[in-house]
Chain A
Amino acid sequence: MGLTEQIAKLGRSAIELVTGLGRAGLMLWGAIAHRPRLKKGLPLLIKQLYVIGVQSMVIILVSGLFIGMVLALQGYNILVGFGTEESLGPMVALSLLRELGPVVTALLFAGRAGSALTAELALMKSTEQLSSLEMMAVDPLRQIIAPRFWAGVISLPLLALMFTAIGIYGGHIVGVEWKGIDSGAFWSILQSSVEWRQDIVNCMIKSLLFAVVVTWIALYRGYHVIPNPEGISRATTQTVVQSSLAVLALDFLLTAMMFGS
């Protein structure tokens, strides 16, 4: 491939990227920049909260429990060597609140709910359901995209909190029930180490931003899919890959801003 062709290819990729960002921005703007319609919008939102949030709870809770248990076991083995095993509580809690809670929940959410959102929208497009909404003078951005977006934004922070809470409980099972750390020491040191603003609020801010990114990518990939089997498969994969990478990159930026100094 000649140099000119390579430059042309690079230029095409750049144009595609900018076009994609523009389309994604317009889609989101069209979906959320409206006065809320409580009577019509609320039932749609509640349904999506169930599909996106409630139905993701099992995987989040089971994963949170096991990650908390593994974290506690590995942490205990290290801390016991220094005679500081009572610090297991804050170690587990801070690891979960600051990093693992928001990040792992977002990654699981991208795999469970994000891929489902993309596939659902892609199938709606390929079966002309989105076109039929348009022809019925109903805006699919408001009817389909908006409730799913808000459901994702509301669900993910709550799921991250649940993940963190059950992870701490998993740490308690391993540290206190199994390894015999004093329960009072576990909870009191944990309580004194965790700060509301620094840890819990930052955990919520991270989750909220991850929720926006993951849900936005999932909806964009589904809404602008090429409506054939290959296109749908590609869009679903892109949702999981792109949102996972975006979450990890964004996490580094946020961590640097929140805890870097």
Chain B
Amino acid sequence: MTQKHNSLVEIQNMAFSRGSHVIYEDISLSIPTGKVTAIMGPSGIGKTTLLKLIGGQLNPDKGKVLFDGTDVHQCNRNELFALRKRMSMLFQSGALFTDINVFDNVAFALREHSGLPEAIIRRIVLMKLEAVGLRGAAKLMPTELSGGMQRRAALARAIALEPEIILYDEPFAGQDPISMGVLVKLIRELSDALNLTSVVVSHDVDEVLGIADYVYVLADKRIIAHGTPDELRLADNPQLKQFIEGEPDGPVPFHYPAPDYKKELLSGLD
């Protein structure tokens, strides 16, 4: 099931739950180096949780998450921080620091970790902002940016330290068609130009299938399908078809589990 070679991230037989609510029962997957891998699935299935498990922000109940062969959850804090300098995450909200401007947001990690002089940092930041088309917005505060621009500024910040992997958490959520098109193009181009490994968590089927090299689909606490976008489009798994074609009812029911409708309506009428 998993690709064993050239994988930057490997998840092996991982289970995770929040209290009594099981999120993953036993999942295994691998993220190939230098490729765009998409993790798809319905809302609330735990896609963001998966990114937090890869980043070591959450601990699995069992199983392993290996980053370049290192078990993320066996690291002490210093080792974990050393690993995180090699990864980057684009949060769904952008998560820009609202008390500093766009330039300082992008420069933040460089100032913390690179030890470079300010003149070099300035040039790097301007280059990153140019890459996402926001060099002109360097002096604006995050609150002065549109949602799409915030996402792009966050992307510039995410690539500032030139990480080996970027974890994208719902990058297209709430974006207008133009912003979405810009983000799709940026993710693909950055991945190709910098030889980045990208993990895109999303439920925007068309956009994701358009840029991903490999796709995993999560549902029912497990991986229900995986393959290239073309393989998934041709698959006859009804649960997968329902998700890809956006049908409201099917193996994933439209209705939340409830008692009999007629009985409930008529109850209490005595």
Contacts and interface: CB of A to CB of B under 8 A. Distances in A.
Interface of A: 40, 127-129, 131-132, 134-139
Contacts of B109: 136-138
B89 A135 contact: yes
B89 to A, nearest CB: 4
Residue among B95, B109, B112 facing the most chain A CB atoms (10 A cut-off): B95
Residue among A127, A129, A134, A137 facing the most chain B CB atoms (10 A cut-off): A137
B93 interface: yes
Contacts of B97: 129
Interface stretch (B77-85, B116-124, B203-211): B77-85
Contacts of B98: 127, 129
B166 to A, nearest CB: 11
B262 interface: no
Contacts of B113: 136-137
Interface of B is mostly: mixed
Contact of B93 (A128, A134, A139): A128
Nearest to B77: A139
Nearest to B112: A138
Contacts of B91: 128, 131-132
B84 A132 contact: no
B199 interface: no
A137 B55 CA distance: 10
B235 to A, nearest CB: 33
Contacts of B57: 131, 134-135
Contacts of A138: 108-109, 112
B84 A136 contact: yes
Nearest to A120: B99
Contacts, number: 46
B151 to A, nearest CB: 13
A40 B108 CA distance: 12
Residue among A40, A131, A132, A134 facing the most chain B CB atoms (10 A cut-off): A132
B37 interface: no
Nearest to B51: A135
B39 interface: no
Given A137-B81, A137-B113, 18 more contacts: A127-B93, A129-B96, A131-B52, A131-B91, A134-B84, A135-B55, A135-B84, A135-B88, A136-B84, A136-B108, A136-B109, A136-B112, A136-B113, A137-B85, A137-B112, A138-B108, A139-B77, A139-B81
Contacts of A129: 95-98
Contacts of A131: 52, 57, 91, 95
23 contacts: A40-B112, A127-B93, A128-B93, A129-B95, A129-B98, A131-B57, A132-B95, A134-B84, A135-B57, A135-B84, A135-B87, A135-B88, A136-B84, A136-B88, A136-B108, A136-B109, A136-B112, A137-B81, A137-B82, A137-B84, A137-B85, A137-B112, A138-B108
B58 to A, nearest CB: 11
Given A134-B57, A135-B87, A138-B112, A127 B81 contact: no
A128 B140 CA distance: 20
B55 A128 contact: no
Nearest to B97: A129
B49 interface: no
A128 B91 CA distance: 7
A107 to B, nearest CB: 27
Contacts of B112: 40, 136-138
